[in-house]
């Protein structure tokens, strides 16, 4: 009995240390005031970051993927990711994303492509132009309409907005996106435990989005522990940490532009 209790104690202590290590990054993000937590959502910045080309300036088709820190304290843990598309000669962009407060959760609407996400500036993850973008746009719209969990949303471990983007990337040929380590939920694989990485340059193993391993040329090596990721990018040297995201070279913007 004493040996059993001692073993349980060691396991408990190890689990506490693991949780402490995983939460250190998000706690730091909050303590260092790098996350917008003040103000009502309706008063927070939703203006354009001036990253996307204006429709009146660019006639060619455009497909872009953006990520921005999630609203309020959730931003210390992860980002919200969305897809923006503009068909050739169109005068507007259409956004595809999952919103937790909507049912169905998948929303495809005309909107500003590079808006701040409730006070948090967006980062460009992928940028496709021309014929390749024009070909992908109807495929992206079709994949968004077929998302199998449009009536279900779970912040952790998924399916959520990041699970949706990863799923669409796997469904559309040539639509490769390297999602940041802070895209919590990207490793939720629905009815599978093994799948291509969203970047299309490797593969991943995941058990319900709670634990898993991803190995790919673009993402590098990522270990998912309790839904939070740690890893190393080899091609563009960087360490990936929960909450903090990257320490090292910036990630590559994927695409043909």
The pLDDT, as a whole number, for residue 9 is: 72
The pLDDT, as a whole number, for residue 22 is: 87
The pLDDT, as a whole number, for residue 136 is: 98
Under 8 Å between Cβ of 167 and 179: no
Token pair recorded at residue 37: 């937590």
Partner residues linked to 68 by β-bridges? 80
Task: Provide CB contacts within 8 A for 128, sequence distance 6+.
Answer: 62, 63, 64, 136, 175, 255, 256, 257
The pLDDT, as a whole number, for residue 5 is: 65
Per-residue pLDDT tens digits of the chain, which is 257 residues long: 677 766 667 777 777 787 788 889 998 999 898 888 888 888 899 999 999 999 999 999 999 999 999 999 999 999 999 999 999 999 999 999 999 999 999 999 999 999 999 999 999 999 999 999 999 999 999 999 999 999 999 999 999 999 999 999 999 999 999 999 999 999 999 889 999 999 999 999 999 999 999 999 999 999 999 999 999 999 999 999 999 999 999 999 999 98
Cα separation, 27 vs 184, whole angstroms: 16
Enter the pTM of the model.
0.94
Enclosing domain of residue 48:
2-255
Cα separation, 35 vs 92, whole angstroms: 31
The pLDDT, as a whole number, for residue 8 is: 67
CA distances from 115 to 56, 161, 210, 238 (A): 18, 16, 30, 27
Number of domains in the chain: 1
């Amino acid at each position: 009995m004493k040996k059993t209790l001692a073993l349980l104690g060691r396991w408990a202590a190890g689990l506490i240390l693991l949780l402490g290590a995983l939460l250190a990054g998000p706690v730091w993000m909050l303590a260092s005031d790098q996350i917008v937590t003040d103000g009502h959502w309706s008063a927070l910045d939703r203006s354009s970051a001036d990253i996307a080309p204006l429709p009146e300036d660019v006639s060619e088709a455009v497909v872009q993927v953006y990520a921005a820190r999630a609203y309020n304290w959730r931003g210390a843990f992860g980002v919200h990711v969305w897809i923006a598309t503009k068909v050739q000669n169109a005068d507007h962009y259409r956004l595809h994303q999952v919103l937790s407060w909507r049912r169905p959760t998948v929303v495809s609407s005309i909107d500003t492509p590079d808006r701040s996400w409730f006070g948090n500036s967006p980062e460009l993850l992928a940028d496709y132009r021309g014929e390749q973008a024009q070909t992908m746009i109807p495929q992206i719209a079709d994949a968004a309409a077929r998302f199998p969990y449009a009536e279900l949303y779970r912040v952790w471990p998924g399916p959520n907005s990041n699970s949706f983007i990863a799923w669409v990337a796997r469904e559309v040929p040539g639509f490769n996106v390297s999602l940041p380590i802070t895209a919590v939920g990207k490793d939720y694989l629905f009815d599978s435990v093994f799948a291509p990485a969203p970047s299309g340059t490797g593969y991943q193993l995941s058990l319900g989005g709670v634990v898993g391993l991803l190995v790919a040329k673009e993402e590098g090596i990522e270990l998912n522990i309790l839904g939070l990721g740690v890893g190393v990018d080899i091609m563009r040297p960087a360490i990936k940490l929960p909450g903090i995201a990257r320490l090292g070279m910036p990630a590559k913007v994927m695409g043909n532009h």
